[in-house]
Amino acid sequence: MSAPLSGLTVIDFSQFLAGPYASLRLLDMGARVIKVENPDGGDLCRRHYVSDTRIKGASTLFHAINRGKESIALDLKAPQGLDAARRLIAQADIVIQNFRPGVIQRLGLAYEDLRPLKPDLIYGSISGYGESGAWSCEPGQDLLAQARSGLMWLSGNADDGPVPVGLPIADISAGACLAQGLLAALFHHARTGKGTHVRTSLLEALMDMQFEFLSTWLSNGEAPPARRSEGSAHGYLGAPYGVYACATGHLALAMTPLDRLGPLLDLPDLAGDPFKDREALCQRITRRLRDKPAEAWEAELGAQGVWCARVLTWDELRAKGGDPVSRMLPPSLPLRMGGSVGSSARVGPGLDEHGSALRAEFGLSPKR
């Protein structure tokens, strides 16, 4: 099967992670992504280092999120750069931007500005907190969005205070939401010939990720979730749900009836309300599981149909995960459509690496 988005061109003005993640998903499905960057240093993510490793002078994070894309440097505050951007857009299918609200309007590249140029344009925008409201002009940064969304009160144990998710979950989820919306817009375009403006924000994406908790909270007298004192994994689910320290390693236990789990742990009297008595029940289970290594418990309980899993490191994941893991190392598109679909590129472009070729292809003025 050929890549489903083959032949589509995406002009991506976005920086850092959320917008580039959306365009990466489209690239992995076959789209061509042209990354428009500031001539003065390019995407700020090029210098956002998460390790001492550099690839082609830029951070590993930049390459992870921009692999396989083309780069052209345009000064959008200069008439020549702005004209070049509009020419690129006129010949493209999708535009993505994640400037702060108001910036894209001042540049003259907002959806409303571009509709006369290309009436069927599909346009994607990501902001931190939407285009209006008290937070609309605040920095749309992942950790700050996690803090404002309520998400930090779901992870960790009761005495830990707020615990952020240990990866940029706001950026990734917002980028995934935008990619989903753009795919729906492409389907709408195929049926009607009309373009549309798809919008999301880091805050909305994080609230969507909490749909289970927020729905429970709103339907349950707004009783907040309660984290366990140890091994907390879900603020609403009852015992034994959680993570348990064993003689060595840790074991995750999912939904298992107590009257079934008790005999398997030599705790025949393990009984009580899994919600009201959750803390006491989990403490009994904790004491029992410390008698053996997590690997032994996983084998023993798993053979009896208990939903459990040993907590693995990346090295252990790679050694034991089999085919799905091998397909995702290095990371790539996490789905297949009629076979293998995905980008083979492993690095991103140098700043303006494709500028000359793109200027010639799209009829832009030579770089000054």
| Residue positions annotated with a catalytic role | 171
Phi/psi at 123 (5° precision): -130, 125
DSSP letter, residue 129: S
Sequence-ordered list of residues with C-beta below 8 angstroms from that of 60, at least 6 positions apart, any chain: 50, 51, 53, 54
- The answer to whether 115 and 195 are in contact (CB under 8 A) is yes
Q: Are 126 and 201 in contact (CB under 8 A)?
A: yes
The answer to whether 230 and 278 have CB atoms below 8 angstroms apart is no
State the distance between the two ends of the chain, measured CA to CA, in whole angstroms.
42
Q: Which amino acid is at 171?
A: D
Q: 252: which strand partners?
A: 243, 309
The separation between CA 331 and the C-alpha centre of its own chain, rounded to angstroms, equals: 13
Cα distances (angstroms) measured from residue 262 to each of 226, 267, 270, 276, 297:
24, 5, 5, 18, 14
Closest to 177 (Cα-Cα) out of 201, 148, 194: 201
The upper half-sphere exposure of residue 95, i.e. CA atoms within 13 Å in the direction of its Cβ, equals 29
State the pairing for strand pair 250-253/242-245. Answer: antiparallel
* CA 95 and chain centroid, separation: 19
Kindly state the helix (H) or strand (E) to which residue 309 belongs, with its residue range: strand 308-310
**Contact indicator for 117, 89 with CB cutoff of 8 Å:** yes
Task: Copy the structure tokens of residue 21.
Answer: 């993640």
Q: Give yes or no for a contact between 307 and 253, defined as CB atoms under 8 angstroms apart.
A: yes
Token representation of residue 282: 């989990």
